[in-house]
């Protein structure tokens, strides 16, 4: 089940098993979702990310959530959008697949997700939403309670058209 919610993923007013972070490959806290989650979680999240040391675009890693309202943070690395001809769609899909692989492995029930790569990485919003929706709606992923947390109302109409 996918629910689209307007809000700030770093300040949820509900508990989830895991919050998905839009991380960079170096796993160094940056701006956007990543920076906001790190500020809200406390310095331990940055330290946990540093211990891992990095991951590749299209993959994910998992850490404890520390002060966030979740048990885990799944740090997914989506691609920077160039022109759609540099494997961006496959890499974005792979990042979401990595998130759901952790969700299955850790037997999670609920996730809060941003739309990966759609901020400073420049992925076109409609295309990014379609990829998230496609992976999340696969039969093996439909039993998760998923809250896609969006920061602006523009996203609500984008996802409404995908239903």
**Extended beta strands in the chain, E state:** 2-6, 16-22, 60-64, 70-76, 110-113, 145-150
Structure tokens at 89: 């769609």
Residue 50 neighbours by CB under 8 Å, 6+ apart: 27, 28
- Which residue range(s) make up the domain with 153? 2-162
Q: What is the pLDDT of residue 152?
A: 95
Structure tokens at 97: 């697949």
CATH code of the domain covering residue 103: 3.40.220.10
Q: What is the pLDDT of residue 15?
A: 98
Query: In total, how many domains does the chain have?
Result: 1
Q: Looking at the annotation, which residues are catalytic?
A: 34
pTM over 0.95: yes
- How would you write the pLDDT of the chain (163 residues) with one tens digit per residue? 899 999 999 999 999 999 999 999 999 999 999 999 999 999 999 999 999 999 999 999 999 999 999 999 999 999 999 999 999 999 999 999 999 999 999 999 999 999 999 999 999 999 999 999 999 999 999 999 999 999 999 999 999 999 8
Q: What is the pLDDT of residue 1?
A: 85
């Amino acid at each position: 089940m996918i629910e689209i919610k307007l809000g700030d993923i770093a300040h949820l007013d509900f508990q989830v098993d895991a919050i998905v972070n839009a991380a960079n490959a170096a796993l160094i806290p940056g701006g956007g979702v990543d920076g906001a989650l790190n500020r809200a979680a406390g310095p331990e999240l940055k330290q946990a990310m540093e211990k891992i040391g990095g991951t590749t675009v299209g993959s994910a890693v998992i850490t404890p959530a520390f002060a966030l309202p979740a048990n885990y943070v799944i740090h997914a690395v989506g691609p920077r959008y160039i022109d759609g001809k540099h494997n961006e769609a496959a890499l974005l899909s792979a990042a979401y697949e990595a998130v759901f692989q952790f969700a299955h492995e850790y037997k999670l029930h609920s996730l809060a997700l941003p739309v990966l790569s759609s901020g400073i990485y420049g992925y076109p919003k409609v295309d990014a939403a379609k990829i998230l929706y496609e992976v999340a709606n696969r039969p093996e992923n439909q039993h998760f309670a998923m809250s896609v947390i969006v920061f602006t109302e523009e996203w609500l109409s984008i996802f409404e058209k995908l239903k």
